[in-house]
Amino acid sequence: AQSVAQPEDQVNVAEGNPLTVKCTYSVSGNPYLFWYVQYPNRGLQFLLKYITGDNLVKGSYGFEAEFNKSQTSFHLKKPSALVSDSALYFCAVRDPWFSGGYNKLIFGAGTRLAVHP
């Protein structure tokens, strides 16, 4: 079964420190992986995606994510956190070879990032 796990409900980081938001996935084939962010009272905003190629993907607002096929992970990272990064982060996967609906995104439950001054 296709699934995405975000093992941490909340991540707390001090401003200026590096941050990591974890994501692992389970799909039958090679996945397409996405990160979205939801700021308070806003919709989901696309951050970055991995399709193929370089395992390190760079996205908006200084975020990056590393695809690790052997660990089936796609952790989101940022070298230096800002208070304004505080938001809800969602990892998602699309399995393009899934015959039961290959366009849909499968989401994790979300991780709340709190960056403290």
Partner 1 sequence: EAGVTQFPSHSVIEKGQTVTLRCDPISGHDNLYWYRRVMGKEIKFLLHFVKESKQDESGMPNNRFLAERTGGTYSTLKVQPAELEDSGVYFCASSQVGTTLQETQYFGPGTRLLVL
Which residues contact partner 1 by CB under 8 A?
Answer: 4, 32, 34, 36, 42-46, 49, 51, 90, 92, 94, 96, 100-110
The answer to whether the beta carbons of residues 104 and 94 sit under 8 Å apart is yes
Least distance (Å) between residue 105 CB and partner 1? 6
- CB nearer to partner 1: give 19 or 106: 106
Would the CA dihedral through 26, 32, 37, 41 be positive or negative?
Answer: negative
Q: Which of 27, 33, 8, 2 is nearest to 110 (CA)?
A: 8
Report the distance separating Cα 70 and Cα 90, nearest Å.
21
Least distance (Å) between residue 16 CB and partner 1? 29
- CB nearer to partner 1: give 100 or 117: 100
- CB nearer to partner 1: give 81 or 111: 111
